[in-house]
Amino acid sequence: MAILFFIVFIDLLGFGVMIPQLPFYGLHFGLHGFGVATMLACYSVAQFVSSPLLGRLSDRVGRRPVLLVSLAVSALAYCWLGFADAAWMLFAARLIAGAGAGNIAAAQAYIADVTPPERRAKGMGMIGAAFGLGFTVGPALGGLAARLDPAAPAFIAAGLSVIAFLLTLARLKESLPEASRNAPPRPGRLAVAREALSRPVLRELILLLFVTIGAFAGMETTFALWANQVFGWGSWEVGLNFFFVGVVLVVVQGGLIGWLSRRLGEARLLTAGALSIMLGLAGLPLVHAIPLLLVVNLLLAAGMGLLNPSLNSLISRQARIDEQGGILGVSQSASSLARAAAPPLAGLLFDTSGRNTPYIVGAALMLLVLILALRLPRVASDATMSEVLPS
């Protein structure tokens, strides 16, 4: 599992490198809040389409081949982004990169293959920790590289995807048993989605994931524009901000989540994470000084660090081993749909209703998540695996 962690880290490091520069790329080509947010959302539109496909494909051919192909696609997309000289190229390159990013479902299924249920939150936390490390190093590296050449972050991201591809090719062993890979053909992705959403507990978990990711994505995609107006920041300062967020994510998901899940359980961690994110989003409009911004970022990062792996673990517990990729692909697709829908709306609110409006709306959505999450321990305890899994 350590090699998968390193591969995901390298891949997400490339993703992180682009974070501080992309909004300013959009401004360079004449885009405003709505246009920048929509360009960023293209990534998630493609990820929404590709996640269930790649998740189901990994159930049939194995996790390793899916990871290899998707990493190659990511490398090509980042190269095109580096050579972009028009706004439409930004949109096209982000669509292709998002198609490759559907591999997260395969990586999560890999974790589910090699971990028992009682250790799954810790395993999912490793994916989150890899994401956090990518957020820690990537934005700072990308902000520094952008000061030398605006296109440099894209080429660095492409190189990192190539490194992850080579590591997967050379070191990663297949996790899915041969018997499962040779199983009869499985239902189509719409049938998998209908089946997943027909299970009450699973449907509620996926709804919580969708709303949370939407609220958080609206903040992520407008933050650079907000910080530019409030503090006059550029890509370097935005990169340093995300460096701090990444440190918190690494500490929570890489060090604390396993111990906390054993002591408190995933449902309670989900509730705590929802409360922390809600407070962070509600506090962001009040920020006018760096120390308060650090407190808000601490709440946001710690909240996602608690909520995301706990929620993914709970979702994975609702699936049989032969449908882990498909079910996690549905949940990843829900995340991608939220990331596709929320940023344009947040950008539109930013342009028309003021820079703080996306965060006020996001806090209201997280209040809904908190109310639903408070019901979850009772719902989860009432629903046995025989009730949520088909016989």
Poorest-confidence range of 216-225, 295-304, 331-340? Answer: 331-340
pLDDT of residue 73: 93
Q: What is the pLDDT of residue 189?
A: 61
Compute the 3-state secondary structure of the chain and give helix, strand, coil in percent, each to the nearest 5. Answer: 85, 0, 15
Tokens 């959009």 sit on residue: 26
More confident residue, 343 or 53: 343
pLDDT band with cut points at 50, 70 and 90 for residue 331:
confident
User: Other CB atoms closer than 10 Å to residue 173's CB: what's the count?
Assistant: 10
234: which 2 tokens? Answer: 């550029």
pLDDT of residue 24: 87
Q: Which residue has the tokens 């891949």?
A: 11
Mean per-residue pLDDT, 346-365: 95
CB 217 within 8 A of CB 362: no
User: How far, CA to CA in Å, does 234 sit from each of 49, 91, 113, 240?
Assistant: 32, 21, 42, 10
Q: What is the pLDDT of residue 185?
A: 54
SS (H, E, C) 218-256: HHHHHHHHHHHHHHCCCHHHHHHHHHHHHHHHHHHHHHH
What is residue 189's three-state secondary structure?
A: helix
pLDDT tops 70 at residue 384: no
pLDDT at 379 over 70: no
Q: What percent of the chain has pLDDT over 70?
A: 90
For the chain, give the percent of residues with pLDDT over 90: 35
Map tokens 């929320």 to a residue: 342
The residue written with tokens 């060090």 in the block is 255
What's the pLDDT tens digit per position in 138-151? 888 888 888 888 88
Q: Which two tokens stand for residue 384?
A: 């046995």
pLDDT category at 388 given cuts 50, 70, 90 is very low
Mean pLDDT to the nearest integer, 70-75 = 92
Average pLDDT over residues 66-92: 92
* pLDDT digits 0-9 by tens, 218-243: 998 899 999 999 999 988 899 889 88
Residue 368's pLDDT is 94
Segment 322-351 mean pLDDT: 83
> What domains appear along the chain, each with residue ranges and CATH number?
2-172+187-388 (1.20.1250.20)
| 131 vs 153: CA distance, rounded Å | 18
In this structure, are residues 274 and 212 in contact, taking their beta carbons and an 8 Å threshold?
yes
Q: Quick: pLDDT tens for 169-192.
A: 998 888 877 766 655 555 666 777
